[in-house]
């Protein structure tokens, strides 16, 4: 992953990230991963960057898979948000999964019952995000 992309996700610098995306001419730049398999939406919750989620290119068809992507430990961004106890990020990700993309696509990762599928996703330890939240003592995230 390009260091500027990692830093933007860590610090919540959406403006800087979007400048980098424009410079590269494509949102494919956002699909980069760290050696541990983390994408920008795994990194942002580590630092509780809710504004990053609210301002990133959510409706871009290329970016939607970022919300569902698992890292090398099988954790989705929802697992990471639950682990750090960010109810805002957890709620945002669940709500995002409920909304179909603006293009009207109807794949598994959009709308309908997709948020239930996201909540059922398990990591390599067979834990859902709910399990992770409870293990780390974040009962408010689990409600």
Range of the domain at 134: 3-142
What is the domain count for the chain?
1
Residue 96 pLDDT > 90, yes or no?
A: no
pLDDT band at 75 (very low <50, low <70, confident <90, very high): very high
Instruction: Work out the pLDDT band at 102, boundaries 50, 70, 90.
Output: low
* Maximum pairwise Cα distance, the chain: 42
What angle separates helix 3-11 from helix 14-24, to the nearest 10 degrees? 150
For residue 119, the Cα-to-chain-centroid distance in whole angstroms is 13
- Work out the average pLDDT over 64-79: 92
Note whether 121 and 76 are within 8 A (CB). yes
Domain of residue 100, CATH code:
1.25.40.20
The better pLDDT of the pair 133, 30 is held by 133
pLDDT score, position 74: 97
């Amino acid at each position: 992953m390009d260091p500027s992309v990692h830093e933007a996700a860590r610090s919540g610098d959406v403006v800087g990230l979007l400048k980098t995306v424009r410079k590269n001419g494509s949102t494919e730049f956002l699909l980069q991963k760290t050696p541990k398999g983390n994408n920008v939406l795994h990194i942002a919750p580590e630092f509780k960057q809710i504004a990053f989620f609210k301002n990133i290119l959510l409706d871009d068809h290329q970016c939607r898979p970022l919300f569902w992507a698992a890292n090398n430990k099988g954790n989705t961004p929802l697992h990471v948000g639950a682990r750090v106890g960010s109810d805002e990020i957890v709620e945002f990700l669940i709500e995002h999964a409920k909304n179909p993309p603006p293009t009207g696509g109807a794949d598994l990762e959009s709308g309908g019952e997709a948020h239930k599928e996201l909540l059922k996703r398990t990591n390599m330890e067979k834990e859902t995000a709910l399990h992770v939240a409870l293990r780390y003592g974040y009962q408010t995230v689990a409600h």
